[in-house]
Amino acid sequence: MKLQEAKMEFVQSWGSIGSSWGIPRSMAQIHALLLASNEALSTEDVMDSIKISRGNVNINMRELINWNLVAKQNKLGERKEFFSANHDIMAMAQNIVQERKKRELQPVLDLLEKLKSDKIQGNKEEVEHFQTLMTELEDFIKQLDQLSEIWLKLKDNFFFKKIIKTVS
Compute the residue count for the chain. 168
List alpha helices for 1-123, DSSP H. Answer: 3-20, 25-36, 43-50, 54-66, 89-100, 106-117
Side-by-side strand order, sheet with 41-42 = 41-42, 81-85, 70-74
Which among 61, 85, 109 is the end of a domain?
85
**Tens-place pLDDT, residues 26-70:** 999 999 999 999 999 999 999 999 999 999 999 999 999 999 999
pTM, to two decimals: 0.77
Supply the pLDDT for residue 88. Answer: 87
Are 69 and 95 within one domain? no
Supply the pLDDT for residue 118. Answer: 80
Are 9 and 50 within one domain? yes
Which among 85, 112, 140 is the end of a domain?
85
Q: pLDDT digit of tens for each residue in the chain (168 aa)?
A: 899 999 999 999 999 998 888 889 999 999 999 999 999 999 999 999 999 999 999 999 999 999 999 999 988 888 889 999 999 888 888 888 888 888 888 999 999 888 888 888 888 899 899 999 999 999 999 998 888 888 777 766 666 666 666 776
Residue 105 structural domain: 89-167
Which among 29, 53, 85 is the end of a domain?
85
